[in-house]
Amino acid sequence: MSWITNFFTSSVGKKVIMSITGIFLCTFLAAHMSGNFLLLKNDGGQAFNEYAKFMSTFPLIRVLSIVTFIGLLFHAVDGIWLVLQNRKARPVKYHSFKGGANSSWTSRNMGLLGVIILFFLIVHLKSFWFEMKFGTIQYVEYGGVKYKDLYSIVVSAFSQWWYVLLYIICLIALSLHLMHGFQSAFQTLGLNHKKYTPIIKGVGLAFSILVPLGFAIQPIYVLLKSMNVF
Amino acid sequence: MKLTLKVWRQKNSKTRGRMETYPIDGIDEDMSFLEMIDVLNQNLIKEKKDPVAFDHDCREGICGMCSMFINGEPHGPEKGVTTCQLHMRSFKDGDTIVIEPWRAEAFPVIKDLVVDRSAFDTIIQAGGYISVNTGNAMEANAIPVDKSIANEAMNAAICIGCGACVAACKNSSAMLFLSAKVSHLNMLPQGEVEGKRRVLKMMKAHDEAGFGSCTNTGACSAECPKEISLSNIARLNRAYIAASLTSEESI
């Protein structure tokens, strides 16, 4: 094997892949979350549909979305590989294992949380990305220009309470995944420092609460609006 | 004190083991945990039964031989102590205590609570040494070492190689052990020379031995009887990434 394959198949190399793809996916989450706040604009969905068109046609964003898909694929496949390998490292389990005495629940269940998030992503992509790209989507016109009406699809999906509930449960899983993953990514890359590690941990905690919270506000807002609460 | 012990019994590496329950009486709270096991074994010998095999040597927390997984934690519930330094006052009268061997693919059970930890020796043999004879102690100021660096290296060198980090880790990873050995050698001038080769070779030996990878749960450091810091693992990762990218050797 060459030094490159040696590196990426070593236990640290596999974690480096998790770390780099993880940090990249965090930047994606932040961008995706902030852009989608256009759903809350009271204009019948014009701003959101214009934004959706821009995101699905602008070349740089197209390239970035492909990179995001590849990053996600690497993160998921490598994560599953790590879980399987790590299970093999302990073939006989303990009768009594007090993990809570020495580590957080989230840090010990990153694989489980990851699978929940992956399940969510499949549902999420089927509902919106697939519908936008391959579905029978209606068109709307703003100032003589035709736009795919993704807004109506989003609104009809988020008007179902159980769908919103599913979102919130998955966002809690995402929050827990980030609470450990964000700071862990830096530790894996060896970025540990007396001055900066507390800052990284603080930013990580804020990120893992604020980003899923931002995502959660959107379907809750749409649901409440559809129920004529305001 | 009156206790109920649930102990892993396994004849040898080829047979399947099982948990056995032993009631025990007359335990003094000032006894060490191993003295309590000695009492159990004395009782078993009197009953013409096979005593529980367990590793122990210095019984003062520096040799790294004792290795019991007690009530779900390596070396039991107290922080910063080995099993031999754990005392029965940490338990209550009437308690049930579960005692198991370290569990890892790389640490196969030899008998009862004794596991084969030679995978650690294999890691050390791969690079946990300095190749040249450094000779007699030289004039202390000939090679200046900053006090803070010396402290960090010594805090890593304090690792006794007991394997509690592997036992506590959900992945049976030996990263804390490996990082302590790499840190203590790589941070000092005599060891720094071979630093890149060392980290590459020792990491390879770690992976080949069947240890898992690090999820940064921090369980190893929390359970380490010598309280070795997780920052050593970050230093190891840094050194490994840098050595992989810059070393002219392919290891």
* Cβ contacts of A198 within 8 Å, gap of 6 or more: none
CB contact under 8 A, A82 and B213: yes
Q: In this predicted model, which residue has the larger pLDDT, A1 or B242?
A: B242
Whether B225 contacts B159, CB under 8 Å: no
The domains of chain B are located at 3-110, 117-246
Render pLDDT for A193-213 as a digit per residue (tens, 0 to 9): 999 999 999 999 999 999 999
CB contact under 8 A, B217 and A108: yes
Shortest Cα–Cα distance, B137 to chain A (Å): 33
pLDDT value, residue A158: 96
Whether B110 contacts B12, CB under 8 Å: yes
The residues facing A139 across adjacent strands are: A148
So what's the architecture of A3-88+108-226 in CATH? Answer: Up-down Bundle (1.20)
Q: What is the CATH number of domain B117-246?
A: 1.10.1060.10
Chain A residues touching residue B175 (CB < 8 angstroms):
11
**Alpha carbon distance A93, B102 (integer Å):** 10
Residue B193 phi/psi, 5-degree rounding, is -55, -45
The residues facing A142 across adjacent strands are: A145
Chain A residues touching residue B107 (CB < 8 angstroms):
none
Whether A29 contacts A211, CB under 8 Å: yes
Residue B110 phi/psi, 5-degree rounding, is -90, -50
**Alpha carbon distance A138, A165 (integer Å):** 26
Parallel, antiparallel, or unpaired: how do β-strands B3-9 and B96-100 relate?
A: parallel
Render pLDDT for A92-128 as a digit per residue (tens, 0 to 9): 999 999 999 999 999 999 999 999 999 999 999 999 9
Q: Which of B211, B217, B231 to substitute to test the interface with A, most A CBs within 10 Å? A: B217
- The mean pLDDT value of chain A amounts to 95
Residues with pLDDT less than 70, chain B: none
pLDDT value, residue B134: 75
The domains of chain A are located at 3-88+108-226
Query: Of A143, A148, A120, which is closest to residue A133 (Cα–Cα)?
Result: A148
ipTM here? 0.92
Shortest Cα–Cα distance, A97 to chain B (Å): 4
Shortest Cα–Cα distance, A24 to chain B (Å): 18
Chain B residues touching residue A107 (CB < 8 angstroms):
215-218
| Helix/strand/coil (H/E/C) assignment for every residue in A159-178 | CCHHHHHHHHHHHHHHHHHH
Render pLDDT for A211-228 as a digit per residue (tens, 0 to 9): 999 999 999 999 999 998
pLDDT value, residue B135: 80
Report residue B92 as tokens: 């209550």
pLDDT value, residue B33: 97
CB contact under 8 A, A94 and B236: no
Whether B14 contacts B110, CB under 8 Å: no
Partner-chain residue, chosen from A7, A103, A192, that has the shortest CB–CB distance to B217: A103
What is the DSSP track for chain A? Answer: --HHHHHHHSHHHHHHHHHHHHHHHHHHHHHHHHHGGGGGSSSTTHHHHHHHHHHHH-HHHHHHHHHHHHHHHHHHHHHHHHHHHHHHT-SSPPSS--GGGTS-HHHH-HHHHHHHHHHHHHHHIIIIIIHHHHS---EEEETTEEEE-HHHHHHHHHTSHHHHHHHHHHHHHHHHHHHHHHHHHHHHTT---TTHHHHHHHHHHHHHHHHHHHHHHHHHHHHHHHTT--
CB contact under 8 A, A6 and B103: no
Render pLDDT for A120-144 as a digit per residue (tens, 0 to 9): 999 999 999 998 888 888 999 999 9
Whether A76 contacts A118, CB under 8 Å: yes
Report residue A12 as tokens: 């640290």
pLDDT at A10 over 90: yes
**Alpha carbon distance B239, B218 (integer Å):** 20
Output the furthest CA–CA distance in chain A (Å, rounded): 69
Output the furthest CA–CA distance in chain B (Å, rounded): 64
Q: Which of A4, A7, A11 to substitute to test the interface with B, most B CBs within 10 Å? A: A11
Beta-strand (E) ranges in chain B?
A: 3-9, 18-24, 69-70, 73-74, 96-100, 109-111, 114-115
pLDDT value, residue B138: 83
CB contact under 8 A, B203 and A88: no
Among all residues of chain A, which has the CA nearest to that of B6?
Answer: A95
Instruction: Give the DSSP H/E element, type plus range, for residue B144.
Output: none
Report residue B22 as tokens: 């032993």
* Cβ contacts of A54 within 8 Å, gap of 6 or more: A61
Render pLDDT for B178-231 as a digit per residue (tens, 0 to 9): 999 999 999 999 899 999 999 999 999 999 999 999 999 999 999 999 999 999
Q: What is the CATH number of domain B3-110?
A: 3.10.20.30
Query: What one-character DSSP code corresponds to residue B87?
Result: B
Shortest Cα–Cα distance, B116 to chain A (Å): 14
Chain B residues touching residue A104 (CB < 8 angstroms):
217-218
* Cβ contacts of B79 within 8 Å, gap of 6 or more: B222, B227
pLDDT value, residue B80: 96
Shortest Cα–Cα distance, B128 to chain A (Å): 18
pLDDT value, residue A1: 63
Report residue B174 as tokens: 């030996």
**Alpha carbon distance B64, B81 (integer Å):** 11
pLDDT value, residue A21: 98
**Alpha carbon distance B225, A16 (integer Å):** 29
Whether A171 contacts A159, CB under 8 Å: no
pLDDT at A71 over 80: yes
pLDDT value, residue B171: 97
Shortest Cα–Cα distance, B120 to chain A (Å): 15
Partner-chain residue, chosen from B109, B219, B241, that has the shortest CB–CB distance to A102: B219
**Alpha carbon distance A200, B165 (integer Å):** 25
pLDDT value, residue A136: 85
